[in-house]
Amino acid sequence: MPERLLNIPVADLKTYSPLALAFIGDGVYGLLVREKLVCAGNCPNRRLHALSVEQVRCEAQAAAADRLESLLTEEELDQLRRGRNAHPGHVPKNADPAVYHRATGLETLFGYLYLKGEIDRIRTLFAAAGE
């Protein structure tokens, strides 16, 4: 059984839309960032929020995707590409569309790995993304 918070069975992950995977991947990535910040030391909530926003905004996620690309397997690269090539209904007005799409690719990858139950791989990639 895969290792996840809720071990609800999932269908074939290749049938999931990249945006559905990005939806959960956004939450996974955000939780990892928050855990890292809180475990680094106690500080005011406002400061935690500001630090979190710096790391989860699309520019930071796109840069993380760029750092990870050479470390990914073919299967992982496929997921990154699927997310990057997906067409969300909107791009935030202050975001560069190319950057936003790369960030969506990262979220898709993290969502895919999470639903697959590959928590150790997520930890490895998250650590490498922050370097």
Q: Which of 69, 55, 60, 68 is nearest to 103 (CA)?
A: 60
How far apart are the C-alpha atoms of 48 and 16, rounded to whole Å? 33
**Can you spell out the DSSP letters for 8-52?**
-----GGGS-HHHHHHHHHHHHHHHHHHHHHHT----HHHHHHHH
Is residue 83 within 8 A of residue 105, CB to CB? The reply is yes
- Distance in angstroms (rounded) separating the CA atoms of residues 76 and 130: 18
SS3 label, residue 111? helix
Catalytic amino acids?
26
